[in-house]
Chains A and B, each alone.
Chain A
Amino acid sequence: MTARLTAPNPQLNELGKLKHLLTLEGLKQHHLTEILDTAESFIDPNTNKIKKVPLLRGKSIMNLFFEPSTRTRTTFEIAEKRLSADIESLDIQTSATKKGESLLDTLWNLQAMQADMFVIRHAESGAAHFFAQHVAPHVHVLNAGDGQHAHPTQALLDMFTIRKKKGDVFDLKVAIVGDILHSRVVRSQIQALSILEAREIRVIGPKTLLPEHPEALGVHVYHDIEEGLKDVDVIIMVRLQNERMKSALIPSEKEFFKRYGLTEKRLALAKPDAIVMHPGPINRGVEIDSAVADGPQSVILEQVTYGIAVRMAVMSVIMSNAAQLAQHQAEQEQSALAEENAEMENPQ
């Protein structure tokens, strides 16, 4: 037996297809484009409406939100309903101290209620991984945001929005502005942009809100927003994650806006057809001016709508992969059985 050089990706099944979606890290371009292409087919090209289809009828999906959420939770719920799944949403506030055990107990209880898929939002990085390690083999886990680690469906819907507006992510210059340090969304966005081979990824923010070695992420770093926005095709603004800041990292919100807020004047430095994105919730007058958020270049609300189609796609692709794996296993069993029979008929 040969030793494995790399640990297997825990979110892929033995055919190399997505079983869970925990992070975009380590995924290949085809994993992402399969989801983005499938999302496309859920949107009626004439009305831009998202269809309801019977794809996951009879499947049970549980949304476990250990951390508050409006957009992600609601769009997940809508996506599940549009796929005709049976859904249950739980608000679970846990005490930080006895998380380990209580989390597992919660998991096993919910699994006993015959869930096929868990959608998990948790303040602790790695919570979704933890769940994925302990669920039964037929149960799937989707990360809806874990601590400062990852928010893969948000990054996927951002990529989908860019594709819809710009045709392709490839060859674009993308600037991400704001609190880079604390944002799980940014981490996932950078991974997605790299996997889809964006031409240039820039992060813009004060030193205190950037990780220690941002270059290691494969990005260009700017501390001056005016310099950083020059000639970009896409601007992604992210909010200050005040709840995750453990010390005073910025002088004040007013000061932050003065130095890093996206105004019409600054927007004019980007390409004339640049789009402005924001994963929400937006803080008007902190990281973005209302004139820009509500302006013609803003696609912030379209991101929300596309989030439904993209989440439908993630769930369908994962369920589809499970069906194909089962089919594959059945075929293998059958051929093994046939071989066995042949041997019995023709003993050597």
Chain B
Amino acid sequence: MQQLDIDVSALLETMSGQLNEKMAQRPNPKMIGIRTGGEWIGEALHQRLGLQEELGLIDISFYRDDFSRIGLNPQVKPAHIPWDIEDQHIILVDDVLYTGRTIRSALNEIFDYGRPASVTLVVLLDRKGCRELPFQADVVGMQLECQQTIKVTGPDPIEVTISEKAEVSA
């Protein structure tokens, strides 16, 4: 199995630069991280961008589309959105964009709180080519192949381990 380690802080640096540019058109944004990985990335970006409002957090467990198949995540935590979402520019942060189903759940939850002016999607890693729903990120730290398995650990330090999936023996 081949493994490669990634310089996460360099990725975050580049991402916050790109995000800063995007935010020129979308002033005074508020940031929401998706628990748990998105919370870590969100905190790191929030600090780098020096955002005024506290980082919001959501846990999409109650909004998943596979509840009737896999049940509830026992570690589900309450959402923490300490400000109004109505008419705000929202930066939505997650660690990995894969099938797109998490983002669908997250948007549903966000819209339960109000109608944002816009949502900008930011992910550290994008596993392109295995999307099942039509979502694309606005800011991506790094593109990966679908076959690669990813492990993100955190929060301090945030580390990513990528390995090629072992060949499934017939």
Q: Is the CB of B78 within 8 A of A320?
A: no
Q: A51-B112, A53-B62, A54-B62 are in contact. Are A316 and B78 (CB under 8 A)?
A: no
The answer to whether B71 and A324 touch across the interface, beta carbons within 8 angstroms, is yes
By the criterion CB–CB under 8 Å, are A44 and B72 in contact?
no
Question: In the assembled complex, how far is the CB of residue A310 from the closest CB belonging to chain B, in whole angstroms?
Answer: 14
Closest chain-A Cβ to B100's Cβ sits at a distance in Å of 18
A251 interface residue (CB < 8 Å to B) = no
How far in angstroms is the closest Cβ of chain B from A38? 7
Interface status of B77 (Cβ within 8 A of chain A): yes
Q: How far is B64's CA from A323's CA once the two chains are assembled, in angstroms? A: 13
Q: How far is the CB of A323 from chain B (nearest CB, A)?
A: 4
Task: Give the Cβ gap from B28 to chain A, nearest Cβ, in Å.
Answer: 20
**A208 interface contact, C-beta 8 A:** no
> What is the distance, in angstroms, from B36's C-beta to the closest C-beta of chain A?
14
Q: Which residues 51-108 of B have a CB within 8 angstroms of A?
A: 59, 61-63, 67-72, 74, 76-82, 108
B59 / chain A contacts, CB cutoff of 8 Å:
41
CA of A46 to CA of B80, assembled, Å: 7
Docked-complex contact A323 and B78, CB < 8 angstroms: no
A15 to B59, CA, bound (A): 26
B68 touches A53 (CB 8 A): no
Which residue of A has the minimal Cβ distance to B82?
A: A46
**In the complex the two chains form, is B78's CB within 8 Å of A45's CB?**
yes
| A54-B62, A323-B67 known; A42 vs B72 contact (CB < 8 Å) | no
Interface size class of B (residues with CB under 8 A): 20 to 34
- Which residues on B sit within 8 Å (CB–CB) of A54? 62-63, 108
A/B pair count, beta carbons within 8 Å: 53
A41–B79 CA distance with the chains assembled, in angstroms: 8
- Whether the Cβ atoms of B112 and A38 lie closer than 8 Å is no
Q: How many residues of A contact B (CB 8 A)?
A: 25
- A271 adjacent to chain B (CB < 8 Å): no
* Closest Cβ–Cβ distance, residue A235 to chain B (whole Å): 29
**Would A41 and B78 count as touching, CB distance under 8 A?**
yes
Interchain CA distance A46-B77 in the complex, whole Å: 13
Question: Which positions 36-92 of chain A face chain B at CB distance < 8 Å?
Answer: 37-38, 40-46, 51-55
B-side contacts of A42, CB under 8 Å: 78
Task: Kindly list chain A residues whose C-beta atoms are within 8 Å of the C-beta of B68.
Answer: 319, 323
**When the two chains form their complex, are residues A317 and B72 in contact, meaning their CB atoms are under 8 A apart?**
yes
Q: Is A327 an interface residue (CB 8 A)?
A: yes
| Smallest Cβ-Cβ distance to A59: which chain B residue | B68
Question: B77–A41 contact, CB under 8 A?
Answer: yes
Chain A residues near B71 (CB-CB < 8 A): 319-324, 327
Q: Does A227 belong to the interface (CB within 8 Å)?
A: no
Q: Does A34 contact B (CB under 8 A)?
A: yes
In the complex, what residue of chain A is closest to B66 when comparing beta carbons? Answer: A323
Q: Choose among B62, B70, B79 the residue that contacts A324 (Cβ–Cβ < 8 A).
A: B70
Interface centre among A34, A55, A319, A326 (most CB of B within 10 A): A55
* A41 B76 Cβ-Cβ under 8 A: yes
Would you give the shortest CB distance from A8 to chain B, in whole angstroms?
Answer: 22
| Nearest-CB residue, chain A, relative to B109 | A53
Chain B residues whose CB sits within 8 angstroms of the CB of A43 once the complex forms: 78
Closest to A45 in B: B78
Cα A80 to Cα B67 with chains together (Å): 16
Q: Which among B62, B74, B79 has the greatest number of chain A C-beta atoms within 10 A?
A: B62
**How far apart sit A220 and B79, CA to CA, in the bound complex (Å)?**
41
Q: Nearest B residue to A312 by beta-carbon distance? A: B62
| Chain A residue contacts of B63, Cβ below 8 A | 53-54
A38-B76, A41-B76, A53-B62 in contact; A323/B82 too (CB < 8 A)?
Answer: no
- CB of B108 within 8 A of CB of A45, answer no
B72 touches A40 (CB 8 A): no
Q: A44 to B72, alpha carbons, bound, how many Å?
A: 18
Q: Min CB distance, A12 to chain B, in Å? A: 15
A262 CA to B36 CA, complexed, in Å: 47
**Besides the contacts A38-B76, A320-B72, what 7 more A-B pairs have beta carbons closer than 8 Å?**
A41-B77, A41-B78, A44-B78, A51-B112, A52-B112, A323-B70, A327-B69
**Would you list 5 pairs from A and B whose C-beta atoms are within 8 A, ordered by A residue?**
A41-B59, A41-B61, A43-B78, A317-B72, A327-B71
User: Sorted from nearest, which 8 A-B pairs have the closest CB atoms?
Assistant: A320-B71, A320-B72, A53-B62, A323-B71, A324-B71, A41-B76, A41-B78, A55-B62
Write the residues of chain B forming the contact surface with A, with a CB cutoff of 8 angstroms: 59, 61-63, 67-72, 74, 76-82, 108, 112
